[in-house]
Amino acid sequence: MVAAAAHLIAGDLVAFPTETVYGLGGDACNSAAVARIYEVKGRPADHPLIVHIASMDRMGDWASDVPEYAIKLARDFWPGPMTLVLKRSELAGDFVTGGQDTVGVRVPDHVVALALLEAFEKAGGKGVAAPSANRFGHVSPTTAAAVVEELGEYLSADDLVLDGGECAVGVESTIIDCTSDTPRILRPGAISDDMVSQSTGLDVFRTYRFVTTDSAGFEIVKEANEIRVSGSLENHYAPAAKVFLCETPTPGQGFIAHANIETPPGVIRLASPYDDEEFARILYSALREADAQGLSEVVVMQPIGTGIAVAIRDRLARASNGR
């Protein structure tokens, strides 16, 4: 990882695996490197990035006024699929935070990511800004091959793509606002409301709510929230194919559903996960497969319940709105 860290120090970009999705990394203190992240992704400049660090010991470099409950969360869930939004320090520039007075920080739980971050810090780096390694609004990549397919034409000869296999979680990290007296979940992920509450001993406020629908399950409705965070737009995580939720698929459409749900005649089965964890892990690759097969429409039967099913429904609600 020493060579990859040297590329980051030099201002190059390095795509690397995490337990959630692959990230497109650049030196979080280098405004030119961060500008290239935005350019490669086609990402709006006011959309903040998440800073990845090797351990919670570096949280104080990037954040100030860290509440005790945020320290508890870091101890319980880092390394892991959780991003904490904190009041930023002087180190966190506007080019990383989108001009906000907050910064998102996380410690990923992947051997390749941690080795890269540790080598980067030994080389003098402070943190790696890394959004998902895809074009803005598109489906996040969960394999190195998907990164190359998505971004290969936009990367330079000096940029790197590290292959760490398939991501274990498959959906992006839970984002938790820690700037007030109680934690507030801004984006659901594998770290659930109940897990946050049990860790902190506090009630958890969420910026989304459940709305029952005529079809099975729930949909997530995002409410107004003054902090901009990654993946918070209504149109996001979308393939080229149109995504429909909880409908009966018709011949020629792609279909993603739990394994116990049968495939109607003429429908193209894209994935048959056995549980919600597998559903999250293979969701994005299944949506990419729809595009690879040239399908124009995909029907997804959403999982019902709490835990990571909430994150799956959140991503699918955005995907169904298109890019």
| pLDDT at residue number 45 | 83
Question: How confident is the model over 138-177, as pLDDT tens digits?
Answer: 999 999 999 999 999 999 999 999 999 999 999 999 999 9
Q: Tell me which of 252 and 1 has the higher pLDDT.
A: 252
pLDDT at 221 over 50: no
For 179-189, what is the mean pLDDT?
A: 93
Q: How far apart are CA 174 and CA 39, in angstroms?
A: 25
Considering the chain, what is the average pLDDT of its residues? 91
Give the closest residue to 298 by CA, choosing from 265, 263, 267.
267
CA distances from 64 to 41, 50, 68, 86, 237 (A): 29, 16, 12, 7, 32
| pLDDT at residue number 305 | 87
User: Is residue 112 located within the same domain as residue 9?
Assistant: yes
| pLDDT at residue number 216 | 40
Q: Tell me which of 205 and 213 has the higher pLDDT.
A: 205
pLDDT at 233 over 90: no
User: Is residue 41 located within the same domain as residue 80?
Assistant: yes
User: Is residue 110 located within the same domain as residue 228?
Assistant: no
User: Is residue 179 located within the same domain as residue 74?
Assistant: yes
Instruction: Name the pLDDT band for 234 (thresholds 50, 70, 90).
Output: low
User: Is residue 141 located within the same domain as residue 249?
Assistant: no
| Helix, strand or coil, per DSSP, at residue 276 | helix
Q: What residues does 84 pair with on adjacent strands?
A: 105, 176
Question: How confident is the model over 246-281, as pLDDT tens digits?
Answer: 889 999 999 999 999 999 999 999 999 999 999 999
Q: Which of 70-84, 123-137, 218-232 has the lowest mean pLDDT?
A: 218-232
Per-residue DSSP letters for 100-130?
A: -SEEEEE----HHHHHHHHHHHHTT---EE-
User: Is residue 56 located within the same domain as residue 103?
Assistant: yes
User: Is residue 92 located within the same domain as residue 223?
Assistant: no
Which of 155, 182, 205 lies at the terminal end of a domain, its last residue?
205
| pLDDT at residue number 229 | 60
User: Is residue 96 located within the same domain as residue 158?
Assistant: yes
Q: What is the CATH number of the domain that holds 147?
A: 3.90.870.10
| pLDDT at residue number 247 | 87
| pLDDT at residue number 236 | 62
Tell me which residue range forms the domain holding 302.
209-319
Q: How many domains does the chain have?
A: 2
User: Is residue 221 located within the same domain as residue 110?
Assistant: no
- Strands, E assignment, the chain: 14-16, 23-27, 50-52, 63-64, 82-88, 102-106, 128-129, 160-161, 174-177, 184-187, 205-206, 208-212, 218-222, 242-245, 254-256, 268-271, 297-300
pTM: 0.90
Question: How confident is the model over 4-46, as pLDDT tens digits?
Answer: 999 999 999 999 999 999 999 999 999 999 999 999 999 888 8
Q: How far apart are CA 37 and CA 25, in angstroms?
A: 7
As a whole-number percent, the residues of the chain with pLDDT over 90 amount to 82
Instruction: Name the pLDDT band for 86 (thresholds 50, 70, 90).
Output: very high
